Structure 1
Amino acid sequence: MKNGVYLITYANSLGKNLKELELVLETYFKNIICGVHILPFYPSSGDRGFSPLTHLKVDPNFGDWEDIKRLSQKYDLIADIMVNHISAKSVFFKDYLEKGEKSKYADYFITNNKFSRRIFPIRKKTPSLLNFIEKTVNGFRDADKIFHNDGVNKTSLRNIYRPRTGSPFVPFLLKNGSIEYIWCTFTEEQIDLDTYNENVKEILKNYIFNLAKNGIKLIRLDAVGYAVKKRGTNCFMLPETYDFINWLGAIAHKNNVSILPEVHNHYSYQIELDELKEVDYVYDFQMSVLVLNAIYNKNGAVIKRWLKVRPKNIINVLDTHDGIPIVDVEDLLSKQEIIKTSKKILSNGGNEAKRASGDNSENVDTYQINCTYYSALGEDDDAYIVARAIQFFVPGLPQVYYGGFLAGKNDAKKVKKTNIGRDINRHNYTIEEINSEMDRNVVRRLMKLIKFRNNFPIFDGNFSVVQTDNKKFIFRWRKKSLFLETIIDLNKKTVKVNYLDGKTKKLKKIKF
């Protein structure tokens, strides 16, 4: 992967499809970005592509695999695999609803009975007597309402960690008239897969192989922290989950593809993931809130502490297709600071951000605030450039969400129309709108900053933070004869860079 700034976008957010996306990239972002993370471009029944019918096809509304291949020849491409779930409209789940236990896909999913009965989920064959005993016991569980809910022990249900309240088991009506309770971590449109099942693993292997042959260089493992379920645990980032991630990584590496696990939670998980043999990159989701907090308070002390302990193989993000991740800064900020920062984000984002966040507007994740990064900073151009400078000049590969590339504001109209909170940050730009947005001063300043970050070949060198008062950052990079110093003033909201020109060997200065 090239060490430069990457764009995150949907296939139809910068133009209507992949061909228009390519036109936009070549027209407006050529020689500015070095890679693109194209969010799920597969046929899907919901959640903007994250409820995939399959990963083996491109949604014909967006284009085809030839479009993906063509883009991969110009940019390093990143794509998603939803390892945790598949669409309720998929062939697999539709067949299960039709045939029940007789479906060849019946064991692909996690029923309440399977979860309740299996302390050790891997089982090639169930003896007849054990099967009879289990069905009898499960019948009692289903009938009991005192100690069980949906046939699952209430204590076990309370232990489960997921980004929604209530039981993960959703009732589905089968064709034969029976009701089965199926695990859905997020929504009833997203059916969790049983990752212990060897056939499910074979499907995931095929997905990786197919992406590799179509030019994908990095695969993001969406929601992988929830992928392994085990009774008596919280079903999040279990030891078996790390094994599963290593297994996926080994398959990817055989196909010359890197992996990036997506895990939102305490920062310690990112540190542990970074140490796994088969993991190539981890996210720094923490910076998103820490940068806002530093700018709000004009104090960078927490970021300076974080830079000392954060993982090495980092993807730097401030904004993504999800909201601003509050849960990721636990123990980096105090509870009081988290509440204070959250209130400031919502205050800057206006009433539309409040309506779009938390339990409102059909949110998949209640641990994030739905707001564009530019709006979270009160649409302050100088503060926005300061935020991006922090992101770009610390170690890691920076990714910028397409709305962030254009310093996008909250799309209140879209949220009102769809009642989907995250749509506040998912405006679809026409080519005409992009042309207009590129003329804004803040966008021109951002493009200047990105070009510098991508073209100065020092960011795989040695990095240090100069001791100074906490209203300033001084970041230094050295590589052989090259030198770069970034001075970021949180009080004045200024960004200055001093660097040694590689050609003239003279010290130069630049402001952004």
Structure 2
Amino acid sequence: MGQPLLLERVERHLEEIYGEYADRGTLARRLLDLMRLEPDIAPAAHGVNHWSQRDALVITYGDSLLRAGEKPLHTLKRFLDDYTEGLLSGVHILPFYPWSSDDGFAVLDYSSVNEALGEWRDINAIASDYDLMADLVINHCSGRSLWFQNFLRDEEPGRGYFFTASPADDLSAVVRPRTSPLLRAVDTALGEQHVWCTFGHDQVDLDFRNPEVLCQFTSILRHYLDNGVRVIRLDAIAFLWKELGSTCLNLPQTHEVVRLLRTLVEHARADALLITETNIPNRENLSYFGNANEAHCVYNFSLPPLLVNTLVTGDCSHLKNWMMSMPPAQGGTCYFNFIASHDGIGLRPAEGLLSEEELQALIHTMQVFGGHVSYRALEDGRDKPYEINIALFDALR
């Protein structure tokens, strides 16, 4: 018996996400319409590698390079053309949309380019010559966005888009990357509600239990592909689905959403790639490969802390042991090796690989070199180091 056609595959994903959702067939057809895909398309080729060790990307903010009288995205394109020929295959431009905080990761409008940076034709120009990676900031959006303002007014689009809970709920098991209060009290047309903020109070978590939210992001995904984005970075994806009483991290529905997005993406553009940003312990991170049916690529988050530890201690044993223990990537998937990012050096991916004493020694050394440490709150109320915020140049003094 042959593989199921696209409509049936999407319906199966939705059943795993939403259970016995009455309008599963209607929702599946709507998602395909938003992606402009026919329901009877045969399965996409499986196990095809669209990336190799020859590929190299640079990560940059849209305004890292400035030139008087020129929009930053135009300046970036000029720099890539003039100085990186033969060196880079692609570029990851960090959120280039209108935003309110967190250097772009509190998105106001997913469909627009920040006017201070340029416009869509600048993005198109870069994408025409380089593999372009862009962020799908899918877990949360700005507290000043139209969606959230409409949520407060109980209007569309935005009604029911955001996850709420009660201060009386037992939230002790929730795993978070921050120390700020999880819930934010807001006055709405329906009375006071408490919205969920995994990262910060200007970054309000979306509620994917509402299929309208899934539809919105499917439309956004199609828009990015139409504008030349080849690599979709699923920002903070591990926190996507929430269930009270759980860790709200890496839940089965989150993995199924990734599988659904992969199914849609690989039918919309055969060489497009999903990459999951999951700054979590190594074994959990690798789970986002699924059975070669989730992310095409996962960030190799354990590499930066182990590499820096090796260089500052002169001992490569932990790095070597980790490399030897890593399973080979299955066909059609790959590890995305990186040595630094805009977030600095994550420490959770080193858990279980470096001892607590070694982690503390690394943190102390980085602080001596001028680094700062961000923390996350533990279940018992203690704060634990989460990331070392330092440039690689300073870390290797």
> Match of 1:368?
387
> CA–CA distance in 2 between the matches of 1:166 and 1:58?
30
The correspondence for 1:302, drawn from 309, 318, 334, is 318
Name the SS for the 1:81 alignment partner. strand
* Cα contact 2:346–2:388 (8 A) shared by 1: yes
The correspondence for 1:278, drawn from 254, 279, 294, is 294
> Match of 1:290?
306
Name the SS for the 2:275 alignment partner. strand
Deviation at 1:366, TM superposition (A): 5.4
Residues 187-225 of structure 1 deviation map (CA, whole Å, 9 limit, x = unaligned): 111111001211100111011101111111110000001
* Cα contact 2:282–2:302 (8 A) shared by 1: yes
1:49–1:274 distance in 2 versus 1, CA, 3 Å? same
Deviation at 1:49, TM superposition (A): 1.0
Name the SS for the 1:232 alignment partner. coil
> CA–CA distance in 1 between the matches of 2:180 and 2:85?
47
> Match of 1:87?
142
Structure 1 position 260 matched with structure 2 position 264: no
The correspondence for 2:362, drawn from 318, 326, 341, is 341
The correspondence for 1:163, drawn from 165, 169, 177, is 177
Name the SS for the 2:243 alignment partner. coil
Structure 1 position 172 matched with structure 2 position 186: yes
Structure 2 unaligned blocks of 5 or more: 1-50, 377-383
Deviation at 1:73, TM superposition (A): 1.4
* Cα contact 1:38–1:77 (8 A) shared by 2: yes
Name the SS for the 1:243 alignment partner. helix
> CA–CA distance in 2 between the matches of 1:242 and 1:305?
28
* Cα contact 2:142–2:203 (8 A) shared by 1: yes
Deviation at 1:367, TM superposition (A): 0.6
Aligned residue runs from structure 1 range 481-496, under 5 A: none
> Match of 1:45?
100
Name the SS for the 1:375 alignment partner. helix
* Cα contact 2:274–2:297 (8 A) shared by 1: yes
> CA–CA distance in 2 between the matches of 1:104 and 1:4?
40
Deviation at 1:244, TM superposition (A): 1.5
> Match of 2:27?
none
Structure 1 position 330 matched with structure 2 position 351: yes
Deviation at 1:270, TM superposition (A): 2.3
Higher helix proportion (structure 1 or 2): 1
* Cα contact 2:347–2:385 (8 A) shared by 1: no
Q: Which has the larger radius of gyration?
A: 1
Deviation at 1:372, TM superposition (A): 0.5
> CA–CA distance in 2 between the matches of 1:104 and 1:211?
20
Residues 350-402 of structure 1 deviation map (CA, whole Å, 9 limit, x = unaligned): xxx24x6448xxxxx95101110110111xxxxxxxxxxxxxxxxxxxxxxxx
> Match of 1:111?
164
> CA–CA distance in 1 between the matches of 2:74 and 2:156?
39
> CA–CA distance in 2 between the matches of 1:326 and 1:28?
33
Name the SS for the 2:357 alignment partner. helix
* Cα contact 1:326–1:342 (8 A) shared by 2: no
* Cα contact 1:273–1:279 (8 A) shared by 2: yes
Residues 2-32 of structure 1 deviation map (CA, whole Å, 9 limit, x = unaligned): 6322100011112251001111112222222
Deviation at 1:55, TM superposition (A): 1.7
Deviation at 1:319, TM superposition (A): 0.8
The correspondence for 1:189, drawn from 180, 202, 207, is 202
> CA–CA distance in 2 between the matches of 1:219 and 1:343?
35
> CA–CA distance in 2 between the matches of 1:274 and 1:106?
33
> Match of 1:4?
55
Name the SS for the 1:332 alignment partner. coil
> Match of 1:28?
83
Name the SS for the 1:196 alignment partner. coil
Residues 71-107 of structure 1 deviation map (CA, whole Å, 9 limit, x = unaligned): 111111100001101111111111122x23x655221
> Match of 1:133?
none
AA aligned to 1:19 is H
Q: TM-score, normalised by structure 2?
A: 0.78
> CA–CA distance in 1 between the matches of 2:65 and 2:385?
27
1:324–1:112 distance in 2 versus 1, CA, 3 Å? same
> CA–CA distance in 2 between the matches of 1:167 and 1:159?
14
> Match of 1:385?
none
Name the SS for the 2:172 alignment partner. helix
Give the superposed CA RMSD.
1.9
> CA–CA distance in 2 between the matches of 1:275 and 1:84?
20
Name the SS for the 1:241 alignment partner. helix
Structure 1 position 314 matched with structure 2 position 335: yes
> Match of 1:377?
396
Residues 286-311 of structure 1 deviation map (CA, whole Å, 9 limit, x = unaligned): 11010111112211111111112225
Structure 1 position 246 matched with structure 2 position 301: no
AA aligned to 1:281 is C
Q: How many residues align?
A: 327
1:241–1:348 distance in 2 versus 1, CA, 3 Å? same
